[in-house]
Chain A
Amino acid sequence: MLVWSRSGRRLAWFLAALLFAVIYGLPIAMIALASISGQWNGVLPSHLTLMHFANSVQGESGDQLRVSIMTGAIASAVALVSGTCAALALRRIAGAPKRLLDAIFFIPSAVPSVSVGLGLLVAFSQPPVLLNGTTLIVVIAHFVLISAFTYGSVSAGLGRLAPDYEQVAESLGARAFYRLRRVTLPLVAPYLIAAFSLSFAFSMGELGATVMVYPPGWVTLPVGIFSLSDRGAIFDAAALTIILAVTTLIVLIGLSRVSTKAAVR
């Protein structure tokens, strides 16, 4: 307790509540209001409507939501496998090579997303591999950007693991693959799930690399939201943003439930 007087505490709380309301509460409230506003010529909308949400679920916006979910799920799944593989293998490497490899796996999170997109565009618009204009290049861009998150999250989980369980399993004669499948992976399962949710959430909101590489047939939701807002259809954009945020949060909450269950077991 830092402030002892009752009035001082009240003042501190009031200031914090005001700051929070202005900085976080108001924007969320306004974007939610905008998503259901029919006409907004005055201070507040004159009437409310669900039309923008109806627009969103049908037509191209619905497709964009599906594209985003699929891109996020595939890229996160691949990143999870490759990140787990890297984190597990790095446990068996020591010294300078370990530090170097660790840095290499983290670097994609430091490189600006637009540059990652530019690199893919330059590299795969020329032989030997031509991927420009395909769906795959979008998934690759998302994979590269989130691979550092999954790697970091899994290696943090492995770092916190007490070595006893694995040593006991080994001394009891468990083979390496059996040990991995029955001991190590179940123990780090909460971290694997957290890694997947974090990367899925990131992928759902990714814009910088996607605008560089997306083909007309594979438009993700953030790209769709930007083109709506660019055209001045800001209420439709607001409704789509709400859908994007809610979908992301549902997946996150769902997965964190699964994760708690895995931890309890």
Chain B
Amino acid sequence: MAELSVAVPRRAPRDFAGLWIGPPLLILAGLFLYPLALILRETLTGGTAVLSLGHFAEVLGSALFRTALYHTIIIALGSTAGCLALGFVFSLIIAFVPFPGARLLARLIDTFIALPTFLIALALTFIYGSAGLLNEGLMRLLHLDLPPIDFLYSQWGVILSEITVYTPFVMRPLLASFSLIEPAQIEVASSLGARPFRIIRQIILPAALPALLAGGSLCLLLTVNEFGIVLFIGAKDVITLPLLIYDKAIQEFDYTTACVIAVANIGLSLGLFSLYRLAVSRFEDRRHAGLV
């Protein structure tokens, strides 16, 4: 479609409409690219006039940074795996074991995308927190003095919140790819005696692979960048890169360290973003070719 629409001005080369790219590009350059460049400059100068890679080496070698990077990656991988599994199960049932209200349920889960991420982190403290529903219930039931369940204020609490928040992002492409599977294909397979698990493995999973890749890489990107959930869970020993940037810049006024960590974080995010764009373009290609 895009090729078709650019074909028009080529026939009539009197058109300068492309120049309208100028104003939005200038705005973005001034408000986004210029600040990014200054972050990079700060990491090299540290606020002085001397250029050096010393700040980089110092911060990237520190235990604080490495622990934060480790937590960020573990939380992102764990949450993404959870989102893929949960999103696959939900989408499978909505698409292939339909029930009255299945579409409504899909749309309900979809509205979660619009809600602030920290809503879930706050809500989970009322359920799994030390004075929450589950702990109070178990303490009364078993006559305990201390709350028995204590996972919320650890990386598991962050992972559970992020799975809840980001599963809808996996379901969108999955439901789209499921809607393109020919129902007759599944009916024939099952009338030939294939069990549901075999149908899932041999028909549905291969068809859903590009959608899983696209949704999974988006999840990785969003969970690496997530800030609100980690801040609200507030576990002392769960520091991720975005949280460390906030701590350094706002609590300690150490802009140089914050900038170095930001450069590392942005690098990681841009890598994941390229992965996502690649996955999406493959997903779209297969969809256009009628393969998905």
Q: Which of A27, A43, A82, A101 has the most CB of B within 10 A?
A: A27
> Are B2 and A91 touching (Cβ within 8 A)?
yes
In chain B, what residue has the closest Cβ to A143? B31
- Interfacial residues of chain A within 107-153, with CB under 8 A of chain B in the complex: 107-108, 110-116, 118-124, 140, 143-144, 147
> Are B32 and A163 touching (Cβ within 8 A)?
no
Binary contact readout B33-62 vs A (1 if CB under 8 angstroms, 0 otherwise): 011101100100000000000000000000
Q: Which of B27, B116, B265 has the most CB of A within 10 A?
A: B116
> Are B270 and A107 touching (Cβ within 8 A)?
yes
B60 vs chain A, min Cβ distance (A): 16
Contact partner of A167 (CB less than 8 A), chosen from B8, B21, B262, B270, is B8
CA distance in complex: A32, B126 (Å) = 10
Q: Which of B20, B115, B122 has the most CB of A within 10 A?
A: B122
In chain A, what residue has the closest Cβ to B115? A245
- Interfacial residues of chain B within 251-282, with CB under 8 A of chain A in the complex: 255, 258-259, 262, 265-266, 269-270, 272-273, 276-277
> Are A43 and B140 touching (Cβ within 8 A)?
yes
> Are B89 and A19 touching (Cβ within 8 A)?
yes
In chain B, what residue has the closest Cβ to A87? B24
- Interfacial residues of chain B within 123-142, with CB under 8 A of chain A in the complex: 123-127, 131, 133, 136-137, 140
Contact residues in B for A110 (Cβ distance below 8 Å): 221, 225, 269-270, 272-273, 276
B223 vs chain A, min Cβ distance (A): 11
Task: Answer whether A113 and B116 are a contact pair too, CB < 8 Å, given A2-B199, A85-B20, A158-B5.
Answer: no
Give the interface residue-count category, chain A: 35 or more
Q: Could you say which of B63-71, B91-99, B143-151, B206-214 contacts chain A?
A: B91-99
Contact partner of A112 (CB less than 8 A), chosen from B86, B122, B269, is B269
Contact residues in A for B283 (Cβ distance below 8 Å): none
B1 vs chain A, min Cβ distance (A): 5
Instruction: State whether the Cβ of A264 lies closer than 8 Å to any Cβ in chain B.
Output: no
A27 vs chain B, min Cβ distance (A): 4
A61 vs chain B, min Cβ distance (A): 15
> Are B6 and A92 touching (Cβ within 8 A)?
yes
> Are B116 and A205 touching (Cβ within 8 A)?
yes
Q: Which of A1, A8, A161 has the most CB of B within 10 A?
A: A1
CA distance in complex: A23, B19 (Å) = 49
Contact residues in B for A112 (Cβ distance below 8 Å): 224-225, 227, 241-242, 245, 262, 265-266, 269
Instruction: State whether the Cβ of B119 lies closer than 8 Å to any Cβ in chain A.
Output: yes
Contact residues in A for B17 (Cβ distance below 8 Å): 88-89, 91-92, 176
Contact residues in A for B167 (Cβ distance below 8 Å): 23
Q: By DSSP majority rule, is chain B's interface helix, strand, loop, or mixed?
A: helix
Q: Which of B24, B109, B136 has the most CB of A within 10 A?
A: B24
Task: Answer whether A12 and B35 are a contact pair too, CB < 8 Å, given A159-B1, A237-B122.
Answer: no
> Are B18 and A89 touching (Cβ within 8 A)?
yes
Instruction: State whether the Cβ of B156 lies closer than 8 Å to any Cβ in chain A.
Output: no
B89 vs chain A, min Cβ distance (A): 7
- Interfacial residues of chain A within 165-208, with CB under 8 A of chain B in the complex: 166-167, 170, 176, 197-198, 201-202, 204-208
A79 vs chain B, min Cβ distance (A): 10
Instruction: State whether the Cβ of B250 lies closer than 8 Å to any Cβ in chain A.
Output: yes
Contact residues in B for A30 (Cβ distance below 8 Å): 123, 126-127, 133
Contact partner of A13 (CB less than 8 A), chosen from B99, B140, B246, is B99
> Are B242 and A163 touching (Cβ within 8 A)?
no
Task: Answer whether A44 and B133 are a contact pair too, CB < 8 Å, given A12-B97, A93-B18, A110-B270.
Answer: yes
Binary contact readout A200-236 vs B (1 if CB under 8 angstroms, 0 otherwise): 0110111110011000000000100110011000100
- Interfacial residues of chain B within 108-123, with CB under 8 A of chain A in the complex: 108-109, 111-112, 114-120, 122-123
> Are A208 and B196 touching (Cβ within 8 A)?
no
> Are A159 and B2 touching (Cβ within 8 A)?
yes
In chain B, what residue has the closest Cβ to A200? B114
- Interfacial residues of chain A within 75-100, with CB under 8 A of chain B in the complex: 82-83, 85-86, 88-94
- Interfacial residues of chain A within 25-73, with CB under 8 A of chain B in the complex: 26-28, 30-31, 33-34, 40, 42-44
10 nearest A-B residue pairs (beta carbon): A205-B116, A119-B35, A110-B273, A27-B123, A208-B227, A89-B20, A2-B96, A92-B18, A123-B35, A112-B225
In addition to A12-B97, A13-B93, A23-B163, 15 A-B residue pairs with Cβ atoms within 8 Å of each other are A1-B183, A2-B204, A19-B90, A33-B126, A85-B21, A92-B15, A112-B241, A114-B246, A118-B249, A119-B36, A120-B31, A234-B126, A238-B123, A241-B116, A252-B114
- Can you report 5 A-B residue pairs in the complex whose CB atoms are below 8 A from each other? A1-B187, A116-B32, A123-B35, A238-B126, A249-B111
